[in-house]
Amino acid sequence: MIPQAQIVYDHFHVIKLMNERMDALRRKTMNELAEEQKKELKGKRYLLLRGQENLTPNAEEDLQKLRLQYKDLV
């Protein structure tokens, strides 16, 4: 082993892995929903992936509604 080695986290790949996990969770949730509920969640992918600090007040409100309705996506 290399005792002096530093652990380095690549920001791009960490974010990529988190986005992939969130996408998989969103897909799993969508597959368990009724057709009417799927329509509500459809098109919200980027709302879920975008940083909260980058959301408009309207988008932030939509995100809060999604989080209340779909606990899996929190």
Asked if residue 5 is part of any domain, the answer here is no
Asked if residue 27 is part of any domain, the answer here is yes
* Geometric angle at alpha carbon 8, from 15 and 45, rounded to 5°: 5
Q: Report pTM.
A: 0.61
Asked if residue 42 is part of any domain, the answer here is yes
CB of 49 within 8 A of CB of 25?
Answer: no
Asked if residue 6 is part of any domain, the answer here is no
Q: Tokens at residue 68, please?
A: 């209340």
Asked if residue 4 is part of any domain, the answer here is no
- Residues constituting the chain: 74
Residue 74: which pLDDT band, with cuts at 50, 70 and 90?
Answer: low
Q: Which domain holds residue 61?
A: 11-73
Mean pLDDT confidence for 30-59: 83
Rounded CA gap, 62 and 52, in Å? 11
Q: Total structural domains in the chain?
A: 1
Asked whether residue 68 carries a pLDDT value surpassing 80, the answer given is: yes
Q: Tokens at residue 62, please?
A: 């939509």
Count other C-beta atoms under 10 Å from residue 26's C-beta.
19
Asked if residue 59 is part of any domain, the answer here is yes
